[in-house]
Amino acid sequence: MKQDKLTHFDEDGNPSMVDINSKNMTKRVAIASGKIKMQSETLKKILNIKIKKGDVLTIAKIAGIMAAKKTEQLIPLCHSIPLSYVNVDLSPDTKNSCVNIRAEASLVGKTGVEMEAFTAVTIASLTIYDMCKSIDREMVISDIKLIHKSGGKSGEFNAKV
């Protein structure tokens, strides 16, 4: 569903938090994905838990989950929402020398959870970068996108493959 006006501005063009008081409570789900590309030797060290700072993938997963719960503190006009579920999957891809990241967030509420899923993916990838930057400063975080959204009056969205 396409809207004609931006929702985070009032009639005078000033920034405004969206009023969700009249919205219905529905189950809302969002899934985002992204990846971080690196040198093959870096990925090998991650998989063999040979990075000095520790188990990169476990720490990145926890960081992504924690970040999703803090989204309201990072994005100025996001609502404080009671997340029911957050999961972050990190899938190493040795062929393409990257880690694919997928985050899902959900709740029963009056507003969506897309920003929480995006935040989880972004912070998980930044955590990988932070933990590995001493051996690979050329890592590239890319392709962060919404792949699924459901719930609410705008209905379901699935990204084109």
> What is the set of active-site residues?
130
Q: 78-82: long-range contacts at Cβ-Cβ below 8 A with a sequence spacing of 24 or more? A: 78/115, 79/17, 79/18, 79/20, 79/111, 81/107, 81/109, 81/111, 81/113, 81/116, 82/107, 82/109
Residues in contact with 161: Cβ distance below 8 Å, sequence separation at least 6, in sequence order: none
The Cα–Cα gap between 97 and 74 comes to 30
Helix (H) or strand (E) holding 95: none
Beta bridge partners, 85, equal 106
Which token pair is 96?
Answer: 């393409």
